[in-house]
Chains A and B, each alone.
Chain A
């Protein structure tokens, strides 16, 4: 398996524009997580899915953020409209549903810069 695949790797956009980040989890993994990483706040959990269903979105900072998982092999995180404070590295991770004592597998991240 190629691992968790995120695209794009880098995104530079202007304030007010819509941004869509994409993630393909590892096949067979039932859990998918979106994290945001900044120097100030570290790694924050934004939302996670189990079997394509959103379980907890309490970490989504504002209504400008939305996430979907239309099928087991694809998820998107959308920011509309984007703001400079959204600049961060966004990670997607997946994990099999074999119990809590399992590791999470991370993608390479999308570095988002909003100017």
Chain B
């Protein structure tokens, strides 16, 4: 079964606005990762947050993790048309070197 579930399924915003996507998961995790997928392409890693971290930044990206609620959020600030893509959260379980388990993603459209 899917580990992560993203919310919303689709998001449309104007260029310059901030975009927030949420992810919920079910089991204990070692880390949570966010990936981006442009249409017709493979997934590209954006950022990883470990289970003992609460917040992490990378450029215009800000990720938070709340292990008590089993949830994470990805914030993209000052969005650009080039940010239009699908965004997926993926989790690695606490049992160690296990595969990433993905949610169904959020489709972000940034309108210029």
A61 within 8 A of B: no
Residues of chain B within 8 A of A50, CB atoms compared = 97
A27 within 8 A of B: no
Q: Check A106 against B42 for contact (C-beta < 8 Å).
A: yes
**B contacts with A: majority SS:** strand
Q: Check A100 against B42 for contact (C-beta < 8 Å).
A: no
Q: Check B92 against A105 for contact (C-beta < 8 Å).
A: no
Q: Check B48 against A103 for contact (C-beta < 8 Å).
A: yes
Name A62-115 residues within 8 Å CB distance of B: 91, 93, 97, 99-109
Chain A interface size band reads 20 to 34
Residues of chain B within 8 A of A35, CB atoms compared = 102
**A contacts with B: majority SS:** strand
Interface 0/1 of B80-111, CB less than 8 Å to A: 00000000100010001111111111000000
Q: Check A42 against B99 for contact (C-beta < 8 Å).
A: no
Residues of chain A within 8 A of B35, CB atoms compared = 106
Residues of chain A within 8 A of B105, CB atoms compared = 42-43
B30 within 8 A of A: yes
Q: Check A106 against B50 for contact (C-beta < 8 Å).
A: no
Tell me the number of A-to-B contacts counted with CB atoms below 8 Å. 56
Name B44's contact: one of A42, A48, A101, A106 (CB within 8 Å): A106
Residues of chain B within 8 A of A100, CB atoms compared = 30-31, 92, 96-98
Residues of chain B within 8 A of A105, CB atoms compared = 45
Name A45's contact: one of B43, B88, B99 (CB within 8 Å): B99
- Residues of B bordering A, CB below 8 Å: 2, 30-31, 33, 35, 41-45, 48, 50, 88, 92, 96-105
Residues of chain A within 8 A of B31, CB atoms compared = 100-101
Minimum distance in angstroms from B106 CB to a CB of chain A: 11
Give the complex CA separation of A33 and B92 in angstroms: 14
Residues of chain A within 8 A of B2, CB atoms compared = 42
Minimum distance in angstroms from B48 CB to a CB of chain A: 6
Q: Check A101 against B45 for contact (C-beta < 8 Å).
A: no
Residues of chain B within 8 A of A43, CB atoms compared = 43, 88, 102, 104-105
Residues of chain B within 8 A of A101, CB atoms compared = 30-31, 48, 50, 92
